A and B are shown apart, each in its own frame.
Chain A
Amino acid sequence: MLTSLYVPGHSWLHRAPVGGKVLGLLVATTLLLAWRDPAAPALGAVVVAAVHLGAGLGVRRLLAQVWALRWVVAVLAVLQWWAAGPREAVVVVGGLLVAILAAGVVTATTRIEAMMDAVVGALGPLRRVGVDPDRVALALGLTIRTVPALTGIAREVADARAARGMGRSPRALLVPLVVRAVRHADAVGDALVARGVDDGPGE
């Protein structure tokens, strides 16, 4: 669902300005990648854990996030060890893990609306070179809106498959899912046209 990544709260990090959080994330991850030493992910991990707990997100959520990444970490660690040695494996995989956790902390403490406003604000100066911030916001909004819409379609298609007694046929799931997703996209396109999205600026 829309807000599944956001954890409602009133901590200092929830109240911090979105721009500051995104900028901080950018600086932290850049440093993490630039400082090619095993100390970087170690220090990063301590900082991320401290910020995570400081924002009231809890130990359980932090451990769950690490656990969710276990396969990615395992595969990358093996590959890096084999290709570049143990030290490089710790730097690259550790850095990646810390960066993902840090991004997760920002996502968990920032509402989507606030994030969209920040994106539109930040893109404002790019208007002069032809970037339309409203278009970017629309694309973001549509993406977020489409996730539950597609989940709903997938559920209906799976139900229809079960009702027809084709419980395991991948074709009975994928074909109608794709067809209905395209039809949904068509309908959304019509609605956008009808709401004047392609009209250009007002007269």
Chain B
Amino acid sequence: MITFDGVGHRFGDRTVLRGIDLDLRERFVGVVGANGSGKSTLARCVNGLVRPTSGRVVVDGLDVGRQTARVRRRVGFVFPDPAAQIVMPTPAEDVAFSLRRAGLSRSQTTARVEETLERFGLAGHADHPAGLLSSGQRQLLALASILVTEPDVLVCDEPTTLLDLRHTRRVAALLHGLPQQVLMVTHDLELLGGLERVIVVDEGRVVADGDGPAGVATYRALMEADAC
């Protein structure tokens, strides 16, 4: 469960979030909004990458501002650009990197890595240079490296922005099949339509909070009103 309690944030004298109060209990929550609306900042508050200038965020009873390290161990975070979140030269090493503190033996680590790459359809690429993977495969690897640590919550900031339709659907299906609570920021209306809860952010505020179709309708109306 993720709670925003009067959260506001400023970068210098630009206010990017104001008066955010949210109680997120649903298993899959979508966040949508214009470029620069503050939705990424909102997502980054959940694991302390951004520390709000006012209010607080609580994840499963842990205060993100005070118990940041414990929160980060529970919250996995997926970024828009998979190239930047793969830190090791090959998929097998990148997944193993996530397990370095799990206290596993070398053979246990190898087994977990193999099983994880298999699950994400990357078994054939275990030892290939990560730079040679397609964007879709890289995003699957980023997900694999985060989910192998079994976090309780997964925050995804535009996880499918750089992906083709096939990989977008594959990532979406994967996210829907997870036992974890997922908070996903996206512009992909197809992904939002089926969700039970969608938050619409505009100019740093929550302007709509309802089911998927309602959220998509509000977002469309907002974008089309601005276009005139």
Chain A interface (Cβ within 8 Å of chain B)? 1-3, 112-113, 134, 138, 141-142, 144-145, 148-149, 151-152, 184, 187-188, 190-196, 199-203
Contacts and interface: CB of A to CB of B under 8 A. Distances in A.
B87 A141 contact: yes
B79 A190 contact: yes
A132 to B, nearest CB: 11
B37 interface: no
Contact of B87 (A145, A152, A202): A145
Contacts, number: 85
A193 B76 CA distance: 11
A201 B101 contact: yes
A141 B49 contact: no
Contact of A187 (B84, B88, B90, B93): B84
A148 to B, nearest CB: 3
B169 interface: no
A152 B131 contact: yes
B86 interface: yes
20 contacts: A1-B132, A2-B89, A2-B129, A141-B97, A142-B87, A145-B86, A145-B88, A148-B129, A148-B131, A151-B131, A152-B131, A187-B79, A187-B84, A191-B84, A193-B72, A194-B47, A194-B72, A194-B79, A196-B101, A199-B73
Given A190-B84, A193-B49, 17 more contacts: A1-B129, A2-B90, A138-B87, A141-B93, A145-B88, A145-B130, A187-B81, A187-B84, A187-B85, A193-B72, A194-B79, A195-B87, A195-B146, A196-B72, A196-B73, A202-B73, A203-B69
B49 A3 contact: no
Contact of A191 (B87, B103, B131): B87
A203 B77 contact: no
Interface residues of B, number: 31
Q: Which of B49, B87, B103 has the most CB of A within 10 A?
A: B87
Given A2-B131, A141-B97, A148-B131, A194 B88 contact: no
Contacts of A190: 49, 79, 84
Contacts of B89: 2, 112, 141, 144-145
Main secondary structure of the interface of A (DSSP, over half): helix
A152 B98 CA distance: 25
Contacts of B130: 145, 148
B66 interface: no
A6 to B, nearest CB: 11
Interface in B33-78: 47, 49, 69-70, 72-73, 76-77
Contacts of B176: none
A92 B227 CA distance: 71
B145 interface: yes
B79 A191 contact: yes
Contacts of B145: 195
B123 interface: no
B2 to A, nearest CB: 16
A94 B100 CA distance: 44
B88 A141 contact: yes
Nearest to A199: B69
Given A187-B85, A188-B84, A191-B84, A113 B101 contact: no
Given A145-B86, A190-B79, A138 B97 contact: yes
A113 B93 contact: yes
Q: Which of B70, B81, B145 has the most CB of A within 10 A?
A: B81
A190 B131 CA distance: 19
B189 interface: no
B69 A200 contact: yes
Contacts of A134: 100
A196 B85 contact: no
- Ranked nearest first, the 10 interchain pairs of A and B with the lowest CB-CB distance are A148-B131, A187-B84, A191-B85, A2-B129, A194-B77, A199-B69, A141-B88, A144-B89, A145-B89, A202-B101
B96 to A, nearest CB: 10
A2 B83 CA distance: 15
A194 B100 contact: no
